[in-house]
């Protein structure tokens, strides 16, 4: 039986798909943090290059992927799409389960799909140096690789607890030539202020974002880069869904359910948005589900309102599902899903009823991840494992109701640098919040 559906280099998409062209209601614009008026695009030029701001605000349906970006994509794209037949058997489900495997990239996750074009467009615009933040290190590592490939300096503010406790991605960033600061750091005024108040401050993503933005505005030829949440980031990730549509055609099936985990929303958007287009334009009726941790339940328990992206209130205000920019998520083992906000585009899609959201506790998530690893081999990233928990719940419902369902999910990354989390789970040390 064929269980793997491959494309070749020439099948790498030539355009990114922009859902902003097809939303039945326009996306509410970002607001200026001071005036609370819609932000003029020029105001973003302090931190982003103009070519990426154009993508951020564009309502063109298709945006061309430059050839140098497609050539770097070819290092790992098209990524494989596989059918998880052993997992289906273990669950004794009539459901067919397919996964798109983004862990096949050099950095081990989908994040390089956007770090590469962001580095490319910055280089084109004359930027010499990028500043960014990272939680557990996936984004920092992805940007470090892309900066090295396009000849940019990379400065990463890494949340202090992760800097201390998750050394391997910090080392990976160093291999790719980045400079990494534990945040809060003494590199910025905001960092120094927080360290003066509490020298042991463990840091947070919101704090690290504030530091990276301050670094950007105070250093010449420097721009800021974000690994999720923003429209252009979701846009770059749509290569995932476009390839998946072709690969599902090769498999000869149409998915009923499309599932992805949600931190800032980008890997989910990447898989789901091209299917949402078919839902909006082609009358298809997919069940599209975003999955998040119960400990950081932005989509399922948050409010849809304007909020800041960072703790110091320096970013534009974005209309999104949020737990509040001062929310400190409890420490759980999937760092990539501990963000108080959500992509405005994903938030809008939820509000418009184009998708649903579910939340799972971390013991359930690791139970699902371990079952997956023991049947399919791949050890999933803890973030991706949230999607797997929802897939398994759906496959079990299919078994109970005797319905054949076709489920497609995004396996956004591998967990080979997250083994301490698996060890904690296997030793019964994980706690639900
Ligand atoms: C960062 C990360 C996520 C969460 O970020 P999104 O923007 O929601 O995709 C999910 N999976 C993996 C493997 C990650 O590294």
CATH at residue 378: 3.40.50.1100
Per-residue confidence band for 432, with pLDDT thresholds at 50, 70 and 90: confident
- pLDDT the model gives residue 206: 83
Domain that holds residue 389: 4-9+67-108+232-426
What percent of the chain has pLDDT above 70?
100
**Ligand 1 mean position, distance from CA 209 (Å):** 16
Whether the CB of 118 sits within 6 Å of ligand 1: no
Residue to substitute in 137, 233, 267, 272 for testing ligand 1 pocket (most ligand atoms within 8 angstroms of CB):
267
Write the residue with the smallest CA distance to atom 4 of ligand 1: 263
Pocket flag, ligand 1, residue 381 (CB < 6 Å): yes
Ligand 1 centre and the CA of 383: distance in Å? 6
Question: What gap in Å lies between CA 227 and CA 232, rounded to an integer?
Answer: 10
Residue in 189, 185, 247, 239 with CA at minimum distance from that of residue 218: 189
Both tokens assigned to 208:
């690290």
Distance 138 CA to ligand 1 centre (A): 8
Residue 315 within a domain: yes
- 266: Cβ below 6 Å to ligand 1? yes
pLDDT value of residue 433: 79
**Mean pLDDT across 416-421:** 95
Instruction: Tell me if 22 is assigned to some domain.
Output: no
| Ligand 1 mean position, distance from CA 196 (Å) | 32
Read off the pLDDT band of 240 (50, 70, 90).
Answer: very high
Judge whether residue 204 has pLDDT over 90: no
- Ligand 1 atom closest to residue 262's alpha carbon, by position in its atom list: 8
Q: Which of 107, 111, 136, 409 to probe ligand 1 with, by most ligand atoms within 8 A of CB?
A: 111
**Residue 374 counted as domain residue:** yes
Q: How many helices (H) and strands (E) does the chain have?
A: 17, 15
193: pLDDT strictly greater than 80: yes
**Paired strand residues for 360:** 293
Single pTM value for the model: 0.97
| Predicted pLDDT of residue 225 | 98
Ligand 1 and 262: CB distance under 6 A: yes
If one counts the domains in the chain, the total is 1
Q: For residue 268, which atom of ligand 1 is closest to its CA?
A: 9
Residues 322 and 302: beta-carbon distance below 8 Å? yes
Q: Each residue of 319-337: pLDDT tens digit?
A: 999 999 988 777 777 777 8
pLDDT (tens digit, 9 = 90+) per residue, 347-391? 999 999 999 999 999 999 999 999 999 999 999 999 999 999 999
Atom of ligand 1 nearest to the CA of 263: 8
Question: What pLDDT, on a 0 to 100 scale, did the predictor assign at position 310?
Answer: 85
- pLDDT (mean) for 226-235: 97
Using 50, 70 and 90 to split pLDDT, how confident is the model at 140?
A: very high
Is the CB of residue 138 below 6 angstroms from any atom belonging to ligand 1?
A: yes
User: Is 281 domain-assigned?
Assistant: yes
User: Mean pLDDT lowest for which of 169-178, 205-214, 342-351, 404-413?
Assistant: 205-214
Q: Quick check: CB of 270 below 6 Å from ligand 1?
A: no
At residue 155 the predicted structure's pLDDT band, cuts being 50, 70 and 90, is very high
Residue 56 CA: distances (Å) to CA of 66, 118, 155: 17, 12, 23
pLDDT of residue 287: 98
Q: Could you tell me if residue 260 is inside a domain?
A: yes
Q: Does residue 252 belong to any structural domain of this protein?
A: yes
Instruction: Classify residue 133 by its DSSP letter.
Output: E
pLDDT of residue 27: 98
Instruction: Answer whether 341 contacts ligand 1 (Cβ < 6 A).
Output: no
- Give residues with Cβ within 8 angstroms of 221, minimum separation 6: 126, 127, 128, 129
Q: Give pLDDT, residue 71.
A: 98
CA atoms of 198 and 220, how far apart (whole Å): 30
* Residue nearest atom 10 in ligand 1 by C-alpha distance: 383
Would residue 140 count as lying in a domain?
no
> Which residue, judged by its Cα, is nearest atom 2 of ligand 1?
336
Minimal-distance CA residue to ligand 1 atom 7: 266
- Residue whose CB lies within 8 A of the most ligand 1 atoms, among 383, 386, 389, 414, for a mutation test: 383
The answer, yes or no, to whether residue 5 has pLDDT greater than 80, is yes
Q: Is residue 383 part of a domain?
A: yes
Cβ of 242 below 6 Å from ligand 1:
no
Residue 266 pLDDT level (bands cut at 50, 70, 90) = very high
pLDDT of residue 16: 99
In the block, residue with structure tokens 């499309």: 258
Q: What H or E segment, with its residue span, contains residue 418?
A: none
Q: Whose CA is nearest to atom 9 of ligand 1?
A: 267
pLDDT at residue 251 greater than cutoff 80: yes
Ligand 1 closest atom vs CA 233 = 7
CB 293 within 8 A of CB 368: no
Atom number in ligand 1 closest to CA 269:
9
CA distance 419 to 411: 17
């Amino acid at each position: 039986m064929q269980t793997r559906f491959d494309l070749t280099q020439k099948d790498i998409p030539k355009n990114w798909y922009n859902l902003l062209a097809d939303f039945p209601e326009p996306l509410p614009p970002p607001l200026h943090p001071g005036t609370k008026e819609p932000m003029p695009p020029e105001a973003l030029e302090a931190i982003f290059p103009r070519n990426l701001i154009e993508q951020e605000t564009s309502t063109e349906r298709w945006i061309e992927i430059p050839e140098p970006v497609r050539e770097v994509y070819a290092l790992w794209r098209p990524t494989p799409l596989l059918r998880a037949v052993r997992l289906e058997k273990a669950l004794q489900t009539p459901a067919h389960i397919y996964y798109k495997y983004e862990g096949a990239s050099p950095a081990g996750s989908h994040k390089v799909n956007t770090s590469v074009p962001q580095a490319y467009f910055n280089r084109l615009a004359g930027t010499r140096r990028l500043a960014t933040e990272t939680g557990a290190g996936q984004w920092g590592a992805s940007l470090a690789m892309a900066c090295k490939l396009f000849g940019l300096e990379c400065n990463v503010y890494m949340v202090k607890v992760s800097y201390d406790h998750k050394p391997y991605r910090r080392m990976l960033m160093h291999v790719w030539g980045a400079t990494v600061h534990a945040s809060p750091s003494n590199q910025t005024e905001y960092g120094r202020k927080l360290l003066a108040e509490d020298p042991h401050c463990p840091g947070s993503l919101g704090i690290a974002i504030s530091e990276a933005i301050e670094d950007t505005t105070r250093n010449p030829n420097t721009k800021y880069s974000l690994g999720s949440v923003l429209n252009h980031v979701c846009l770059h990730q749509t290569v995932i869904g476009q390839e998946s549509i072709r690969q599902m055609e090769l498999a000869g099936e149409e998915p009923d359910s499309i599932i992805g985990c949600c931190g800032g929303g980008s890997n989910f958007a990447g898989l789901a948005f091209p299917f949402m287009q078919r839902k909006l334009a082609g009358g298809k009726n997919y069940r599209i589900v975003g999955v998040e941790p119960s400990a950081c339940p932005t989509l399922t328990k948050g409010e849809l309102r304007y909020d800041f992206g960072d703790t110091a209130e320096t970013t534009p205000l974005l209309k999104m599902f949020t737990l509040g920019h001062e929310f400190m998520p409890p420490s759980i083992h999937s760092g990539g899903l501990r963000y108080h906000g959500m992509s405005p585009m994903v938030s809008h899609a939820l509000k418009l009823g184009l998708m649903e959201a579910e939340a799972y506790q971390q013991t359930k998530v690791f139970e699902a991840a371990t079952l997956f690893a023991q049947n399919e081999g791949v050890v999933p990233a803890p973030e991706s494992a949230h999607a797997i928990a929802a897939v398994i719940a759906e496959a079990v419902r299919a078994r109970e109701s005797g319905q054949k369902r076709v489920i497609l999910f995004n396996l956004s990354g591998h967990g080979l640098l997250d083994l301490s989390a698996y060890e904690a789970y296997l030793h019964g040390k994980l706690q639900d919040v």
